[in-house]
Amino acid sequence: MADCFKYAEPMKWRQIAWNGVRFDTPMDWEIGKIGHRYLLLETPRGPVMEVKWAPVKGKFKLRSQLKHLAASQGRQLRRSLREEKLPTDWARAIERYDSLGFAWQTNSIGGRGAVLYCPGCRKAVLLQFFETTGQRPFKQADRVLASFDDHTDDRKTFWSVFDIVAEVPATYHLKRFRFEAGAYELSFTNRQSQLTLLRWSPAAVLLKDGGLEGFEQRCLGLSANRSVRFKKRSPLTVELEYGSPSGLFPRLYRRLQRHPLYRSLRLWHEVDKNRILGVRLEDRQPIEAGVLDGICKTYATV
């Protein structure tokens, strides 16, 4: 008798965190487009969710933002876009925000979402879900909204996109990023230093010729500098650093030089995940002991 009943497996979820916002989504929602403050999530059947956010300077009006959204859309969507009361579950999930709901419909796709504003951190968010034939993300929207957070810790910012996770000191701000097949790069900056997170795959192929040291020589070339000092050298980890020499004239040069003079790089091989990860720190001042360690401990693939 038991064989006559089929039980659906519970839906699996994961967290996405990018440049100050984080939220949970079903596992089959993939990032289709990514910007500094923009994410578009999709499945093989089409787009399911879009979120944009930005800090607000001066006064902010929810309805003015909705009018701006309407003006930026195509003619058919602009005509159908309307203010609409949020579903009860949605309103409860985002009650901590000032919010205004909206909806729209064209011949091929529909959308429902909300403009959000947080008076505490003064951040505005436009978040909407798309509905097309064969997929109805509105069913999962209340959980996504309940998990949404646009506040960052005073000490660190959490990042989780594609297959990487990291915690970055909050003093660093995203400068540029690159997601290509087999190679990711996220670069951050603060007043005088730069931080870069690196990721490559498949490691088994990339490490065939010379292991991690050979890979670093081919892809980064930092070890070609005469002043390089190796701190760790093993099959699974390579760490090296170099800085300007001591003395009166180098100190004067450092004072006039705008570019980083001290660099630390650590590469390591995640064998079970077939990935190479790297963290590079560049600074105008000597890099404090433990800073690189702290960042590397939180950086991983999942």
> Which range among 82-91, 123-132, 158-167 has the greatest average pLDDT?
158-167
- The whole-number pLDDT of residue 77 equals 63
Topology of domain 156-301, per CATH? Protein Transport Mog1p; Chain A (3.40.1000)
What is the four-CA torsion angle of 68, 74, 78, 83, rounded to 10 degrees?
-60
User: Of the given ranges (23-27, 107-111, 161-165, 176-180), which has the lowest mean pLDDT?
Assistant: 107-111
Whether the bond between 260 and the residue before it is cis, its omega within 30 degrees of 0, is no
User: How does pLDDT run across 138-178, given as a tens digit for each residue?
Assistant: 788 999 999 999 987 778 999 999 999 999 999 999 999 99
CA 147 to chain centre: 16
* CATH 3.40.1000 for domain 2-147: yes
Residue with the larger pLDDT of the pair 272 and 3: 272
State the pLDDT confidence band at 59, using cuts at 50, 70 and 90: confident
- The whole-number pLDDT of residue 139 equals 81
| 137: nearest Cα among 30, 237, 216 | 30
The alpha-helical segments, DSSP class H, found in the chain are 62-71, 75-80, 88-93, 138-147, 203-206, 211-219, 248-256, 291-298
- The whole-number pLDDT of residue 14 equals 95
**pTM (whole model) above 0.85:** yes
- The whole-number pLDDT of residue 73 equals 61
Mean pLDDT of 99-120: 88
H-helix or E-strand spanning residue 161: strand 156-161
* Sign (positive or negative) of CA dihedral 50, 162, 13, 53: negative
Determine the Cα–Cα distance for residues 94 and 52; give it in Å rounded to an integer: 16
> Matching CATH topology for 2-147 and 156-301?
yes
In the block, residue with structure tokens 């433990």: 290
- Tell me the domain boundaries of the chain: 2-147, 156-301
Mean pLDDT across the chain: 86
User: How does pLDDT run across 196-254, given as a tens digit for each residue?
Assistant: 999 999 999 999 989 999 999 999 988 888 788 888 889 999 999 887 655 444 555 55
**What percent of the chain has pLDDT above 90?**
57
| 48: nearest Cα among 30, 72, 23 | 30
Task: Please report, for residues 29, 231, 258, the alpha-carbon distance to residue 38 in angstroms, rounded to integers and kept in the order given.
Answer: 15, 39, 31
The alpha-helical segments, DSSP class H, found in 105-151 are 138-147
- The whole-number pLDDT of residue 98 equals 92
Mean pLDDT of 101-109: 86
User: Of the given ranges (136-145, 253-262, 268-277), which has the lowest mean pLDDT?
Assistant: 253-262
User: How does pLDDT run across 30-44, given as a tens digit for each residue?
Assistant: 999 999 999 999 998
Structure tokens that stand for 131 in this block: 């509905």
In the block, residue with structure tokens 């990339």: 206
Mean pLDDT of 5-9: 51
DSSP 49-95: EEEEEEE--S---HHHHHHHHHHTS-HHHHHH-EE-PPPHHHHHHTT
